[in-house]
Structures are given as structure tokens and as C-alpha cells.
Structure 1
Amino acid sequence: MKIAVIGSTHAGTAAVRNMAHLYPEAEIHVYERNDNVSFLSCGLALYVGGVVKDAQELFYSSPEELTAMGIHVHMEHDVSSIDTDNQTIDVVDLNSGQKRTDAYDRLVMATGSAPVVPPIPGVHLENVLLAKNYNQANRIIEQSKKADRITVVGGGYIGVELVEAFQEAGKKVTLIDGENRILNKYLDKEFTDVVEEDFEAKGIDLRLGESVTRFEGDGTIQAVHTQNGRVETDLVILCVGFRPNTDLLAGQVDMLSNGAITVNDYMQTSHPNIFAAGDCCAVRYNPTGEYTYIPLATNAVRMGTLVARNIMAPQSRHIGTQGTSGLHIFGLNMASTGLTETTANMLGANVKSVTIHENHRPEFMPTSENVHLKVTFDPDSRRILGAQVLSKADVTQSINTFSLAVQTGMTIDDLAFVDFFFQPHFNQPWNFMNKAGLAAFESREHATV
């Protein structure tokens, strides 16, 4: 059995390492256009900000490790086309320029995602940079040392983390986003308001609800223009989103309208000999039951592992995702899972919510921080559909509990009486998650009186 794997970041690395262990007799080939494997891009801002000193700590594998496992590793090799009828791939050695055609019995697409580069005039000026891979991270570090004014375009996770890193490095930072608030895909307005107030208090210039119309410069970026004015800058980082990198299979397997490959519960595409995993794929989103595009490292590692387990025969089902994620910014800890009211409205889903403000531990303790928790649920079935939390205390693990609640179909009323431990160092006699359930339970009782 000859298995070809295209791409070796999270999904590809997980797939080949597990396949090498499960099927030692298989001939496994991995093709990677970059000069490294398994870069943890979620640590990019930590690396740029100097929290991570040694970049090697952001790699959890290497070409040498994969080779030692018996895997045929083709670094700096680009797959230029795929013939799904004849089960061959055309490969280019990026160093020598040599071309060849390789055959496969099973193909694994782990090509990930690519940063969206908006077609804005001047976008290709020097010092307009992307933030995705290891080489781009090094470029950001190199150029930011010489920049006093830095503009970040895009207020998602990577964008706000870079804003924090640059502000703490003493830079004058501007954040531009076409949406009216930051982190809108992950948190409702009452949560993002807190973060935005903190940003403004630290001197960060928030240009929200503004779209970039052009980049100005004579070879090198000098200013960013929006419909509301001009921002002088020495460096721009584009963080406006990602698109699935699936052009190689366009028209050959089923995809969503954005190009994300659809797979069954066993990571198999519409072509029986082709599997896919990671940011190139759509995943089943449990709060709605629909397939959607959620590019997260956690999804990629799980899917890559499942590809390995299922590539010979269906064995282990993918149980879907809640899109669970977390963030630490300027001392604030926040996390979310499943539907927020914002995303529910975008999808046309009918939800109710309950909000709790609760000190994370008793007031007799030396310190106690407020916890802001919001839980969304189906008003008919009462099934929990999502949750968000924000606090200076790190209570983000509660969101993993809510992820499990969504996964298993727990109701908001069940949550009221779940057995959570109490210890004054950590929490209250009634855990704040219990209190969310109790509040929803009591509001239901009042509604029926």
C-alpha cells in the first residue's frame, strides 16, 4: 500500500506519524512545499512577542523524526496537479526544478489553509506582511524591530494577539477591522466591549467598522487608507482570514462553496481513495448539525489522527466539533464554544441565553475575580448550544466542560445540578456553571406560573 500525504502541518504530521505506527508495512510519502513541518501557528504571536524565545519549541516534529519512522519525506516539493482517475500526482522539486509523476493507492489531502490576501491597491508593497507560517513569523520579527508604527488589519485571534505583542514592545499600534467590533466570531458584544476598552486604555487606535481602501507607499508601505482617513504606518500585518487550500482537487471531489472539502465521518472524501483532514476541510458543527469551515489546530490534529485509523478500513468516527477556542489578552482570559447569540443570529438559529456575573471564589479569600459567563440554549429542547466566559481569573477550562455538554446534548436544566467540587481556593459552593443552569431553570419556572 502506497500512501501519499500532501502537506505536513497539524493534520499531515498527525496522519503520517500515526500511519507509520499502525501500518509499518505501508509505503508512506509526505510532500511539503516548505522547509519545515509541524509549525504551531497558534504560537506565532508568542514568538513575535518574545514570550517563546526558541522557535524550535513551536515545532512538535521534524523531517528527521519522520524519516527515522520510515516515512519518505519530500521537503520543498510542490504537488502541481492530481490525476484522481489514474491515481497519480505531479511533483516539482522546488530546489532543482525537476518534475516527476508519482503514483499512490491512497491520497491524504492535508494542504491546510492560506491567508486571504484582499485585492486592495498596494497590497504587494514592501512591509505589507502575512501571518501564518514560520517564515512569515520570522519576517514579522525582523521588520517590526525597525518599525515604530504598526497597523494590524483584522481583529480575529491572530490579529488581536499581535496587537498585544506590538503594544507591549512599545510600538504605536492601529487595529483596523471592517466589522464594528473585534473577535465577533467568538464572543458577543458585552464581552468584546471589555477587551476593546482595555485596548483603548493602552493607547491602541481602534479603527472598527472601517475597510482598507488602499495601501500607500513608494515601494515600501507608508500609510493605510480607509473610508475614514489615512493612517501613517511603517509596517502592516494582514490577518483578514484564511481560505482552504484545495485548488488541486477543484471539480474532483465534493466541496463547500468556499472550497472546503467535505468528508464523511471517517475522513473520506467523495472519492473513495482520497481522504482529507485539517484546514482544507469542512467539519460537522454539532450545535447545528451542519458542515462548516472552522480552521483550528485542534480540529486538524484530531482529523489527521482519524485519517490514519480509517485509511485502510472504517474504524473510528469523527464526532464533530463545537469550535472550542480560548485566548489570553492583557491579563484577560476568555474562551467560547458552540453558538453565541451573534453566530446564532447569523445562521438564523433561535436561541435563548442566560448570563452570570459571579466571583470565582468566596469573598473571604484574599483575592476574588469576577467571572462573566453566558450560556446559549435551544428554547424548545433546552439543549445547551454554546457558552462564553471572560475573567481575570483563569476559568477557561469551564468552556471545555461546556463543549462536552454541547457534544452530549445536555440541557441547561441538567446543568443546574451537575456535581462540581467546591474548594475555596478555586470556586464557590455553587459553581458558576451550576448558577447558569439554576438561573435558566428559575426563569422557566417563573414563565409557567
Structure 2
Amino acid sequence: MRIAVIGSTHAGTAALKNMATLYPEAQITVYERNDNVSFLSCGLALYVGGVVENAQSLFYSSPEELRKLGIQVNMQHEVKEIDTEKQTIEALNLLTNETVYDRYDKLVFTTGSWPVIPPLDGVNLENVLLAKNYVQSNTIIEKSKEAEHITVVGAGYIGVELVEAFEKSGKKVTLIDGVDRILNKYLDQEFTDPVEADFRSRGIELRLGESVEKFEGNGKVEAVVTSTGRVQTDLVILCVGFKPNTGLLTGKVDMLPNGAIKVNDFMQTSDPNIFSAGDCCAVKYNPTGDHAYIPLATNAVRMGTLVARNILEPTIKNVGTQGTSGLHIYDLNMASTGLTETSASAMAINVKSITINDNHRPEFMPTSENVQLKVSFDPDSHRILGAQVLSKADVTQSINTLSVCIQSGMTIDELGYVDFFFQPHFNQPFNFINKAGLAAAEQNTKTLAPVGV
């Protein structure tokens, strides 16, 4: 069996390593246009900020490791054409300019995503940079050394993490986003307000609800012009989102309108000989049951592993995702899973929510931090649909717990009585997750529910 893999970041590397172990007799070939594999782009801001000093620690595999597994590794090869009827591939060796041809029995398409580049005047000026891969990370590090003022465009996870990294390194920082608050895709306003206040207290300029209109400069960027003003700057980092990198299969497999490839429960596309995983894919989103585009490393690694398990025959179903994610910014720990009120409203989904504020451990302990937890649920079935948490204490694992609750179809009423351990160093006799369920029950029944022992 001949297996061709296109792309080897999270999903591709996971698929490759598992397939090499499961099918030692298969002829496996990977095509990667970069000179490295498996870069953990979620650690980009840590690398830029100097928290991670050794960049090699952000790679969890290498071309050498893949070759030792018996895989034919074609680095710096860009695939130019896929003929799905003849099951052939045409690729260009970027080092020799030689065209390479190959055929496959099964194709694994794991090309990932690419940063969205807004079509604005001046976007190609020097020092207007992207933040995605290893090469771009090194460019940001080098360019930021000489910059006094850095502007980050886009207030998602990568954007706010880079803002923190630059501020900590002594730079003057401006954060611009067209939406009126940061992290709006992940958290509701009562969770983003404290982060914004923290940013402002540290001298970070927030220009929210402003759209970028153009970049100005003579060869090198000198200013960002927005809908309400102008920002003098030495360096711009674009973090406005990602799009699936799926042009090679346009019109050849089923996709969402944004180009994300649709796969079934076994990671198979509408072409039975092509499997796909990672940021180029849509994935089953459990809170709604629909396909959704959720580019996360966790989703990619799971999906790549499932490709390996299912490429010969349907074996293990993908259980779907809640889009669970977390973030640490300065002293604050936050995480979310499933639907927020913001995202539910955008999808025209009716949800009900309960928010509690509680100490993460008993008051008789020397220290205790406030925990803000919000759980969203279906007002009719009471099925849990989402959750968010924010605290100076690291209680983010509670969101992993609530992710499982969503995946398993648990109701908010059941949540109040789930069995959690109690130990004063860690929590209270009634865990704050339980208390959210109990508070929701009180809200729903208008009767007093127990809140402690």
C-alpha cells in the first residue's frame, strides 16, 4: 500500500508516526514545503518572549525521526497538483527546482492553515509580519530587538499572548481589533473585561472597535491607519485569524464555504481514498452537532491519530470537539469550552447561563483566590453547552471536566451532584463546579438549593 501525506505539522506528524508503527509494510511518503516538521505554533509567544529559550524544544519530531521509522521524507517539496482520478501527485523540489511525480493508494491531506492577510495598502511593507511558523517566529524575534513600538493587529489568543511578551520585554505596545473587546471568540465580556483592565494598567494601548485601513511607510512600516486614527509604530504583527490551506482539493472534495474540508466520523473525505485532519478540516462540534472550523493543535493531533487508525478500514470514530482551550496572561488563568453566550447569539442559538463567584478553597486556608465560572445550557433540555472560567488560581482543569460533561450530554441539574473529591489545599466541600449546577437548579425551580456543608 502506498500512502502519501501532504503536510507535517500537528495532524500530519501524528498520522505519520502512528501509520509507520501500525503498518510497517506500507510505503509512506510525506511532502513538506518547509524545512522542519511538528512546530508547536501555540508556543510561539513563549518563544518570542524568551520563556522558551531553546527553540528545538518546540518541535516534537524531526525529519530524522520520521526517516528512522521508515518514512520517505521529502522536505522543501511543494505539492502543485493532485489528480484524484488517477491518484497521482505532482510536486516541486524547492531546492533543485525539479518536478517530482508520485502515485498513492491512500492520500492523507494535512496541510493546515495559513494566516489571513488583509488586502490593505502597505501590507507588504517591511516589518509587517505574520505569526504562524518557526521561520516567522525567528523573524519576529530579530525585528523586535530594534523596535521601540510594536503594534499587534488581532486580539485572539496569539495576539494577546504576543502583546504580553512584548510588554514584558519593555516595548511600547498597541493592540488593535475591529471587535470592541479582546478574545471575543472564546470568552464573554465579564471575562474579558478584567484582562483588558490589566492590559491598560500596564500601559498597553487598546484600540478596540477600530478597523485597520492601511499601513504607511517608505519601504518600511511607519504607521497604522485605522478607522479612527493613526498609530506611529516600528513593527506590525498580523494576527487576524487563519484560513484552511485547501486550494489543492478545491472542487475535488466536499468543503465548508470557507474551504475547510468536511470529513466523516472516520476522518474520510467525500473521496474515499483521501483522508484529512487538522487545521485544513472542519470537525464535528458537539454543542451544535454541526461541522465547524476550529483550528486547535489538540484537535489536529487527535484527528491525525484517528486517520492512522482508520485508513485501512473504519475502526475508531471521532467523538468530536467542544473547542476547549485555555490561556495564561500575566496573573490570570482562563479557559473555555463549547458555546459562550456571545457565540451562541452569533449562531442564533438560545442558551441560558449561570455565573458564580466563589473562593477556590476554604477561607480557613492561608490564601484563597476568587473563581468566576459561567456555565451555559439549553433552556429546554438543560443539556450543558458551554463553560468559561477565570481566576488567579489555576483552576483551568475544571474546563476539561466540563468539556467531558458537554461531550457526554450531561444536564446542568446533574452537574450539581457529580462526585468530586474535597481537600482543603485544592477546593471546597462543594466544588465550585457543583455550585454552578446547584445555582442553576435554584434558578430553574425558584427553590432554595444547598450551597455547602
- The aligned counterpart of 2:26 is 26
Secondary structure at the residue paired with 1:38?
A: coil
The count of aligned residue pairs is 448
Q: Name the residue aligned to 1:258.
A: 258
Match of 1:305 in 2: 305
The answer to whether 1:35 aligns with 2:56 is no
Q: 2: distance between equivalents of 1:137 and 1:263?
A: 31
Report 1:75-86 matches (<5 A): 75-86=75-86
SS at match of 2:446: helix
Q: Does 1:166 align with 2:166?
A: yes
Residue 91 of structure 1, CA deviation: 0.7
Structure 1: how far apart are the matches of 2:124 and 2:211? 17
- Matched residues in 2 for 1:7 and 1:344: separation? 33
1:139 aligns with 2:150: no
State the AA in 2 paired with 1:389.
V
TM-score, normalised with respect to structure 2: 0.98
Give me the whole-angstrom Cα distance separating, in 2, the residues matched to 1:447 and 1:256.
46
Give the drift of 1:227. Answer: 1.2
The match for 2:232 is: 232
User: 1:116 aligned to 2:116?
Assistant: yes
What do the CA deviations read for 1:387-434 (whole angstroms, capped 9, x no partner)? 000000000000000000000000000000111111111011110000
> What secondary structure is seen at the aligned counterpart in 2 of 1:46?
helix
Task: Tell me the CA shift for residue 45 of structure 1.
Answer: 0.1
Equivalent residue, structure 1, for 2:200: 200
Letter in 1 for 2:443: S
Displacement, 1:100? Answer: 2.1
Does residue 396 of the first structure (1) align with residue 384 of the second (2)?
Answer: no
1:12 aligned to 2:9?
A: no
Question: Helix, strand or coil: the match of 2:441?
Answer: helix
What is the letter of the counterpart of residue 134 of structure 2? Y
Give the Cα separation in 2 of the matches to 1:7 and 1:100. Answer: 16
Q: Which residue of 2 aligns with 1:184?
A: 184
Q: CA deviation at 1:441?
A: 0.7
- How many angstroms apart in 1 are the aligned matches of 2:279 and 2:368? 39
Q: What are the Cα deviations for residues 297-337 of structure 1, in whole angstroms up to 9, with x where unaligned? A: 00000000000000011100001000000000011000000
Letter in 1 for 2:247: D
Partner of 2:332: 332
Q: Kindly provide the amino acid, as one letter, of the partner of residue 128 in structure 1.
A: V
Instruction: Give the corresponding residue for 1:51.
Output: 51
Calculate percent identity across the aligned residue pairs.
Answer: 73
Counterpart residue number, 1:364: 364
Q: Which residue of 1 aligns with 2:249?
A: 249
Rounded to whole Å, the distance in 2 between the matches of 1:333 and 1:59 is 25
Deviation at 1:363, TM superposition (A): 1.1
Equivalent residue runs for 1:272-311 within 5 Å: 272-311=272-311
Residue deviations 1:222-263, cap 9 Å, x none?
000001111000000000000000000000000000000000
Query: Residues of 1 paired with 2:443 and 2:46: CA distance?
Result: 43
User: Moved runs in structure 1, 4+ residues, more than 2 A?
Assistant: none
Residues 251-305 of structure 1, C-alpha deviation per residue, up to 9 Å, x if partnerless?
Answer: 0000000000000000000001000000000000000000010000000000000
**RMSD, aligned α-carbons:** 0.8
- Aligned equivalent of 1:106: 106
Amino acid in the other structure paired with 1:130 = L
Residue 426 in structure 1 maps to residue 430 in structure 2: no
Query: Quick one: which amino acid aligns to residue 85 of structure 1?
Result: E
Matched residue type, 2:117: V
Letter in 2 for 1:198: D
What is the identity, as a one-letter code, of the residue corresponding to 2:175?
Answer: L
Question: Residue 422 of structure 1 aligns to which amino acid in structure 2?
Answer: F
Secondary structure (helix, strand or coil) at the match of 1:317 reads coil
Q: In structure 2, how many angstroms separate the alpha carbons of the residues matched to 1:408 and 1:273?
A: 31
Q: Distance in 1 between matches of 2:246 and 2:366?
A: 54
- Residue 383 (structure 2) aligns with: 383
SS at match of 2:114: strand
- What is the match of residue 127 of structure 1? 127
Q: Distance in 2 between matches of 1:100 and 1:193?
A: 53
Matching residue of 2:345: 345
The match for 2:438 is 438
**C-alpha deviation, 1:445, in angstroms:** 1.4
Partner Cα distance (1:301, 1:235) in 2: 33
The offset of 1:201, in angstroms, is: 0.4
- SS of structure 2 residue aligned to 1:158: helix
SS in 2 for 1:66: helix
1:156: which partner in 2? 156
Question: Structure 2: which amino acid aligns with 1:396?
Answer: T
Letter aligned with residue 345 of structure 1: S
The TM-score, its normalising length taken from structure 1, stands at 0.99
SS at match of 1:266: coil
SS at match of 1:145: helix
What's the CA shift for 1:146? 0.5
The residue matched to 1:155 in structure 2 has which SS?
coil
After superposition, what is the alpha-carbon deviation per residue over 1:328-382, rounded to whole angstroms, capped at 9, x for unaligned?
0011000000000000000011100000000101111111100000000001100
Point out where structure 2 has 5 or more consecutive residues left out of the alignment. 449-453
Q: Distance in 1 between matches of 2:447 and 2:12?
A: 51
Shift of 1:447: 7.7
